[in-house]
Copies of this chain bind each other. A is one copy, B any other.
Amino acid sequence: MQKLTAQRQAILDMINRFDKHWDADEIAYALKEEGISIGIATVYRGLAALADQGLIESIQLADKKRYERADKSHHDHLVCTGCGSIEEFCEPQIESLQDKVAEERGFKIEGHQLLLFGLCKTCKAEES
């Protein structure tokens, strides 16, 4: 049984306080800035436990896992290959098409991940 310890509470608070996509190092650094020092292994375990309990959400990028608040409706992500920023979008029609595809094949969906890669508005404008 998973416990919501002081360390995990601190991680959760940090993620809930800012609307961004955190990796483990960023969490550890941000906590240290506030005088809360947590071992990096504990940060990894804490993030996994919190995601397990549905208190935060995760997206798996190619190089690392990032975590965000869970108190939002489901959404997918636009990842800018220029500046690394991550935007969110919600498109229920895509979800229902996914369900349709899965059903046609007898596949039981447990989860999905849709990433759109490209240039965000700002980076697109900066292109010559």
Q: Give A contacts to B, CB under 8 Å.
A: 60, 62, 65, 78, 80-81, 87, 89, 91, 93-94, 97-98, 101-102, 105-121, 124
Residue on B with the closest CB to A121? B106
- Distance A114 CA – B91 CA, assembled complex (angstroms): 13
Whether A121 pairs with B107 at a CB distance below 8 angstroms is yes
- Distance A123 CA – B121 CA, assembled complex (angstroms): 43
| Residues of chain B lying within 8 A (CB to CB) of residue A120 | 105-107
Which of B62, B97, B98, B108 is the one whose CB lies under 8 Å from A60? B62
| Residues of chain B lying within 8 A (CB to CB) of residue A113 | 113-115, 117
- Distance A37 CA – B118 CA, assembled complex (angstroms): 37
| Residues of chain B lying within 8 A (CB to CB) of residue A110 | 81, 117-119
Known A107-B120, A114-B113, A116-B112; judge A78-B102 contact (CB<8 A). Answer: yes
Whether A117 pairs with B124 at a CB distance below 8 angstroms is no
Residue on B with the closest CB to A93? B97
Whether B121 pairs with A117 at a CB distance below 8 angstroms is no
Whether A87 pairs with B116 at a CB distance below 8 angstroms is no
